[in-house]
Copies of this chain bind each other. A is one copy, B any other.
């Protein structure tokens, strides 16, 4: 049973989430062993919330879950890549499709893309 090297990052590994269809990078989150096993078992992206210190089924509040299409592990066993089907069309809690909705240009940020949902409506 392959497993990331959780010890390297004090129990956590970074996880890149990519849209399986468009190739857009949607977000980065972290998994501990429990989140890793839960993701493989359930087929839904499950992370470890560093701010809440709790297992976090992505979309548990917004219902924008991420259906896992494929899982990759990097050469050093310390980073995971998930290709997912993003339910609801947006991964970011701000309502944007991707958490990387700000481009850095000449030392400033430019917002790219349009919000998919209104966070005030989704997180009541």
- Say how far A56's CB is from chain B's closest CB, in angstroms: 14
B79 touches A2 (CB 8 A): no
B25 touches A71 (CB 8 A): no
Which residues of A are in contact with B by a Cβ distance under 8 Å? 1-2, 14, 16, 18, 22-25, 27-28, 40, 70-76, 79, 81, 92-94, 96, 99-104, 107-109
Q: Which residues of chain B are within 8 angstroms of A107 by Cβ–Cβ distance? A: 1-2, 40
* Chain B residue nearest to A14 in the complex (CB): B14
B28 touches A14 (CB 8 A): yes
- Say how far A38's CB is from chain B's closest CB, in angstroms: 14
B75 touches A93 (CB 8 A): yes
**A14-B14, A79-B28, A99-B79 known; A72-B23 Cβ under 8 A:** no
- Say how far A68's CB is from chain B's closest CB, in angstroms: 10
Closest 3 CB pairs of A and B: A23-B23, A72-B100, A74-B99
- Say how far A121's CB is from chain B's closest CB, in angstroms: 18
A109 to B102, CA, bound (A): 34
